[in-house]
Amino acid sequence: MDILIIVVDVIFLAGAVFNIYWQSQIEIRSIYKVSSLIFAAFIGSWLLFSASSDLPYIIMTAAFITLTIMNGVGGIGEKKVVMNGFYSGVIDYSQIVHVTLIPIEVPQRKPKVAVIFNTNRPQQIQMSFNTSYKTIQDYLSKKLSSGVQVEVGQI
């Protein structure tokens, strides 16, 4: 059983290295996805209450909680879009076929924008940013190929 947990430890730690690398490439950070934090607290408390004094189990629990917290971070990076949430990952700009920007303007608050990335696979990725839609639009115009339409929607 310890061998299996050690293998899981290695996989989790490799995932942490992957996340650290791609998250360090983010140039425009999205709003933190709080659901990752809630999930980490829920599963982490469950894992801690079924405690074991084995070092591999403790490392696995700590790595899992750390990974889950890290998965709340996402944004637009130099080379790829870094997705946030439980199924986080990266998307190359060449896979994006359409982008919808939805400005969210609330009086006396900073501007926000919801961004929906459509990929060449039937997949949509939604992120929110604490910046104006124009900032995102200008940045994406430099990164996306000329055939990708960037649409500005309304609420």
pLDDT at 155 over 80: no
- Closest of 101, 77, 72 to residue 22, by C-alpha: 77
pLDDT at 107 over 80: yes
Tens of pLDDT along 25-48?
Answer: 999 999 998 888 888 888 878 877
Strands 149-152 and 96-104, how do they pair? parallel
Q: Taking the CA atoms of 79, 83, 88 and 93 in sequence, report the sign of the dihedral they define.
A: negative
61: left (phi over 0), alpha (psi -120 to 50) or beta: alpha
pLDDT at 8 over 80: yes
pTM for the full predicted model: 0.82
Compute the mean pLDDT over every residue in the chain, rounded to the nearest whole number: 88
Strand residue runs (E) in the chain:
26-29, 75-77, 80-82, 90-92, 96-104, 112-119, 124-129, 149-152
Per-residue tokens: 101: 């920007």
User: How many alpha carbons fall within 13 Å on the CB side of residue 101?
Assistant: 22
The fold for domain 93-152 equals 3.30.720
Domain residue spans of the chain: 2-75, 93-152
Give residue 51's pLDDT band: very low, low, confident or very high (50, 70, 90).
Answer: low
C-alpha–C-alpha distance, residues 106 and 11, integer Å: 43
C-alpha–C-alpha distance, residues 77 and 23, integer Å: 8
CB atoms within 10 A of CB 135: 13
C-alpha–C-alpha distance, residues 155 and 151, integer Å: 13
**How is residue 85 annotated by DSSP?**
S
User: Does residue 136 contact residue 151 with C-beta atoms inside 8 Å?
Assistant: no
